[in-house]
Amino acid sequence: MHLYILTRGIKHEVDRMINDLQAQYLPFEFKGTTNFVQLAVRPIQLWEIVMPEPQLQVVMNTISTAYGEAPSWKNPQLAILRKALRAKKLPEQDLSVGKRLVYNHNVGVYPIGIKPDKFNEDGEQL
């Protein structure tokens, strides 16, 4: 059984709640024997990555190549979330611009969309 929740609060308080949840062991029956299994708490996190606009393709390539299987940049299931965030569709990926190396073990990445920065006389407002 999977239960999905959203949390909101001071980070160390949320972390404490998650740590307490992870410390729980629940009984379950298997082949006539009662066993105990640790409550699995798996984060589903929404991140905003802020960068200078000309670096978008480098960041896309870093995410795409860092996590083993390349994420789908055109995931239709995420369109509702993209709309809720007032984000735009991602551009086509340009693999010729390079990438950065980042740690990639046991992480799934699901790109959603982009939101261009505003510009004023000082330049891009990150």
Q: What is the per-residue pLDDT for 70?
A: 55
Structure confidence by residue, pLDDT tens digits, 58-109: 999 888 754 445 566 667 788 899 999 999 988 888 889 988 888 766 777 8
Rounded Cα distance, 90 and 73, in Å = 7
Q: What is the pLDDT of residues 19-35, one digit of tens each?
A: 999 999 999 999 999 99
Portion of the chain with pLDDT greater than 90, in percent: 44
Is the pLDDT assigned to residue 123 strictly greater than 60? Answer: yes
Write down the pLDDT at residue 124: 74
pLDDT single digits (tens) 34-63:
999 999 999 888 889 999 999 999 999 888
The H or E element spanning position 120 is strand 118-120
Of 121 and 107, more confident: 121
**Do the Cβ atoms of 112 and 84 come closer than 8 Å?**
no
Q: What is the pLDDT of residue 66?
A: 47
**pLDDT value at residue 73:** 65
The rounded radius of gyration (Å) of the Cα atoms in the chain is 20
As beta bridge partners, residue 125 has 118
